[in-house]
Structure 1
Amino acid sequence: MILNISTTHKPATDLGYLLHKHPDKFQSVELSVGKAHIFYPEVGEDKTTISLLLDIDPIEMVRGAKSFGGEGFALGHYVNDRPYVASSFMSVALAKAFSSALNGRCKDKPELVDTKLPFEVMIASLPAPKGGESLIRRFFEPLGYQVELTRHQLDSKFPEWGDSKYFTLKLINYLTTKELLSHLYVLIPTLDNDKHYFVSQNEIEKLLEKGGNWLKEHPEREQITRRYLINLGSLSRQALTRLNEGEAGEQMPSEQSERRESLHDKRLNIVLEKLLESEASSVLDLGCGEGKLIKRLLKHKQFTEIAGMDVAYSELLKAKENLHLAEMSPKQKERIRLFQGSLTYYDKRLEGFEAAAVVEVIEHMDLNRLKSFERVLFEFAKPKTVILTTPNKEYNVTWEKMGLDDMRHTDHRFEWTRQEFADWAKNIANNYNYEVEILPVGEEEENVGAPTQMAIFKYGN
């Protein structure tokens, strides 16, 4: 699969500066399933062309989590069009090969970043199985491109078989390099039915980062958004909402940032919400880390006693700094206590709290130490409410380069499926006289659930 970018800007050799690629060097970048090669078939003052050639390894592709084969074709895993067409592989290759240009940087000639140049793009083979020529034109022409399409026959020796879904695409436009690359990055995968990685929340950020400046004005923005996010309803709705907010111009930058809630923030905010609902006045944050949950708890007068424990003293020092304990008023400081300790050893300091939070902690323990943790918290400390979260192992496949057996962090000792977590939580409830409720945290996806799973334990009446 090859993509050519040409310019007749004078001097045309400026393309090398803009793309940070020397015309005399043949370069390659690694992809998850092969390589992308960058070279110049044509270099001159009047016209310069750079080529991006994808070398996809179909065997390596099969080892990934995503399948491209049809169910009725036994060799579909290995025999498909992925090595020969522009798809999400091409978008990744563009981002890796021309990252500086895509982000609007040019070290040697920065004045060229905002300079509009005459560009001609040739994509050798582009699949458009639904919509065909009309879809390609509706996506590119509103951005000012002159579009020339050549549709390929299924087999030139058998013309009666008809046309294929593949096109050779030629684009001509006058725009900045960053604009050109961002258009190609977003639109190429929207014309295809498959992505070589699982689409998750991160894809919204990529879409808005690369396309936000022009996509909100595009007449086909809804279809582009949905196709880029492979028609995942929840993600598409989020992306379109944020595009609409940007168009209305009513949100200040800080407010927009708050809306772009990360999974980590969402997790802490839900834990805070459940602690408020518990009506507890004293809260124990086990594995408090840098004190992010404690900082949220301090904003609510309901919590008159807040304690944070962590096994790492360095984390407690960071929490002390983040909470500004040194500058805090004496009355406010009386509400907080930080101390070092382990969750697998009996500790009298853990007793007497009405509620405890254990946020993304248990997966860092060895499984053979988990029983000790259970006794320390549920048998001896025995808070009325325990709110505990841990990753959902099944959700990992939605992230690029992660399979069902991969873990999200090198320090994780285990990660549980939803059923494994539910079984463990119910066993805790039965053994220590608690009632338990299991809840998802984050956007749920079909068949794999949400990224985080939460258990709310209430001590029995």
Structure 2
Amino acid sequence: MHLSIATTKNRATDLGFLLHKHPDRVFESSQDRSSKVRATGFYAEAGEDRCEFCLHVEVDPVERVRGLAWSDGIAQYVEPQPFLAGSYMSHAISLALRSAMNGVATSKDAAEDARLKALVEETWPLEIVVSPVRTSRGLILRLFEPLGWNVEIDSVPLDVPGGVRETDLHTIRLAGSHAVRDALTHLYVLLPALDPQRHYFYGESEVEKLLEKSSRWLDGHPSKELIVSRYLSKSRELRETAFLRIDEGAGVERDVPEAQERQSAHDGRHQRIVQVLQAAGARRIADLGCGEGRLLSRLAELPGQLEFVGVEPSSRDLDKAKKNLSRNPSRQMDDRIKLVHGSVLYADDRLKDFDAAVLSEVVEHIEPDRLAHMERCVFGEMSPRMVVVTTPNGSYNAVFGLPAGSFRHPDHRFEWTREEAAIWAQKVSTTYGYDYDFSGIGDFVEEYGHLSHFIVFRKV
């Protein structure tokens, strides 16, 4: 991996003061053993008219997997991540240029100290080259151009013999006038956002790093939500925490539904389902594929003479649902709830005469060639007045950095794009006599849509 930062500013060698790297010396860092990263810094040019600092980053592909449990055979040694300028390059920037990124420049001489502090805040004409980056060209432009960079991209295909064709590899060339500290934070945050396959597990501290390093520019970026979603792609909870922190910092007041959707994708989805069922006046409700009873728990909070039936093919999940629904002072399950061992793939006389049925994140677990059986059993045989369906939006997977054709869960058999979901909804409504409303639920990114599709069928 390679990164170079060059400037043509007057007294260009002042760049060395900001980077804390002497032009006559070679910098080497191979910090913690767990990272297996070695960063070497040197100056390719150091003159008064132009100065260029280079950072060469190497990762030992054998040491990085030593002691880990891998199931992909030799692929662990030849997979490309150790050679891509993503999270490893971001980590190397932190190792080698942390003080520069934090805007630290000091001197014991008072006059020189004042001059260096002024240099930290000044904009510099900068030329940056970073390579190789694995992502789409459009995403590179979308993330860097709004920050004032002129972007040039050189691309080569990444083809692994006998393997699946991956996206191209790019050399990114950036030109623009920025404070050096800002330029480094752009790279530190956006490189992992471009290719969010991390080389480490992360927790709440990652939210702090993101907000701290991007504090001078993220709030005004038009793709702010996309950056946060990709930077924290492995953890829904951390993304929601980051969004709330950003909103609080900006003094944004959100209406209740949107705020609650941010708190949890599950809670937001369930809240919306409950609102739709209440508005329809549904009194007999079937949760088809109820799992461990999370939606039933939410429905049980509703007052009145209601009836809820949870249908689940997994006996283990039914046992968990019964325990979860009995977590109350009486340690008894609400007598309005019944749990049924069954499947949406088989007609069941116990499920007749219901006002509403819910298929929340269920249909994607069904083999495509068996969907017709589910449609016949639910929309034909059961035939409730309303059916609420939520299912993952396959287009949104790009936000998580998932390769094309990959799914969010190993048990998913498909994940529809908006167009594919709309075609399915139209087919079902025509075949079984339903009208439908098609919308989305969860986090929204303009290019990809909502996290999940939200479809409400109503019997004509």
TM-score normalised over the length of structure 1: 0.57
Q: Shift in Å at residue 341 of structure 1?
A: 0.7
Structure 2 SS opposite 1:345: coil
Structure 1 SS opposite 2:444: coil
Letter in 1 for 2:404: L
Match of 1:436 in 2: 436
Instruction: Please tell me whether residue 300 in structure 1 is matched to residue 294 in structure 2.
Output: no
In the alignment, is the contact (CA less than 8 A) between 2:225 and 2:445 conserved in 1? no
Letter in 2 for 1:345: Y
Between the aligned partners of 2:40 and 2:275, the Cα distance in structure 1 is: 55
In the alignment, is the contact (CA less than 8 A) between 2:364 and 2:414 conserved in 1? yes
Residue 315 of structure 1, aligned match among 303, 317, 321: 317
CA 1:285/1:144 → structure 2, altered by over 3 Å: closer, same or farther? Answer: farther
Q: Shift in Å at residue 231 of structure 1?
A: 7.6
Match of 1:291 in 2: 293
Instruction: Please tell me whether residue 209 in structure 1 is matched to residue 203 in structure 2.
Output: no
In the alignment, is the contact (CA less than 8 A) between 1:287 and 1:359 conserved in 2? yes
Between the aligned partners of 1:194 and 1:167, the Cα distance in structure 2 is: 22
Structure 1 SS opposite 2:323: helix
Between the aligned partners of 2:429 and 2:335, the Cα distance in structure 1 is: 33
CA 1:186/1:431 → structure 2, altered by over 3 Å: closer, same or farther? Answer: same
Residue 271 of structure 1, aligned match among 273, 284, 293: 273
Match of 1:420 in 2: 420
Structure 2 SS opposite 1:443: strand
Between the aligned partners of 2:351 and 2:126, the Cα distance in structure 1 is: 71
CA 1:379/1:144 → structure 2, altered by over 3 Å: closer, same or farther? Answer: farther
CA 1:38/1:303 → structure 2, altered by over 3 Å: closer, same or farther? Answer: farther
CA 1:206/1:91 → structure 2, altered by over 3 Å: closer, same or farther? Answer: farther
Match of 2:346 in 1: 345
What does residue range 16-415 of structure 1 map to in structure 2 within 5 Å? 20-21=32-33, 29=36, 36-37=37-38, 53-54=57-58, 90-91=89-90, 121-122=96-97, 140-141=102-103, 165=175, 188-189=187-188, 195-197=194-196, 208-212=207-211, 221=215, 223-227=217-221, 242-243=245-246, 245=248, 260-302=262-304, 304-324=306-326, 328=330, 333-400=334-401, 402-415=402-415
In the alignment, is the contact (CA less than 8 A) between 2:229 and 2:400 conserved in 1? no
In the alignment, is the contact (CA less than 8 A) between 2:57 and 2:92 conserved in 1? no
Match of 1:445 in 2: 445
Letter in 1 for 2:188: P
Letter in 1 for 2:420: E
Q: Tell me the alpha carbon deviations over residues 112-141 of structure 1, each in whole angstroms, 9 at most, x when there is no partner.
A: xxxxxxxx9548xxxxxxxxxxxx99x744
Q: Shift in Å at residue 412 of structure 1?
A: 1.0
Letter in 2 for 1:449: G
Structure 2 SS opposite 1:315: helix
Q: Tell me the alpha carbon deviations over residues 253-309 of structure 1, each in whole angstroms, 9 at most, x when there is no partner.
A: xxxx96752322222221122112111011110110111101111111156111111
Between the aligned partners of 1:166 and 1:56, the Cα distance in structure 2 is: 34
Between the aligned partners of 1:388 and 1:192, the Cα distance in structure 2 is: 36
Between the aligned partners of 2:184 and 2:260, the Cα distance in structure 1 is: 27
Between the aligned partners of 1:289 and 1:404, the Cα distance in structure 2 is: 28
Match of 2:67 in 1: none
CA 1:323/1:388 → structure 2, altered by over 3 Å: closer, same or farther? Answer: same
Structure 1 SS opposite 2:449: coil
Q: Shift in Å at residue 443 of structure 1?
A: 2.8
Between the aligned partners of 1:28 and 1:329, the Cα distance in structure 2 is: 49
TM-score normalised over the length of structure 2: 0.58
- For the aligned residue pairs, the C-alpha RMSD in angstroms reads 5.1
Calculate percent identity across the aligned residue pairs.
Answer: 27
CA 1:293/1:92 → structure 2, altered by over 3 Å: closer, same or farther? Answer: farther
Aligned residues: 332
Letter in 2 for 1:437: D
Q: Shift in Å at residue 385 of structure 1?
A: 0.8
CA 1:40/1:319 → structure 2, altered by over 3 Å: closer, same or farther? Answer: farther
CA 1:165/1:421 → structure 2, altered by over 3 Å: closer, same or farther? Answer: closer
Structure 2 SS opposite 1:290: coil
In the alignment, is the contact (CA less than 8 A) between 2:385 and 2:458 conserved in 1? yes
Q: Shift in Å at residue 144 of structure 1?
A: 8.8
Which consecutive unaligned segments of at least 5 residues does structure 1 have?
8-14, 22-26, 30-35, 42-50, 58-82, 96-119, 124-135, 155-162, 172-182, 251-256
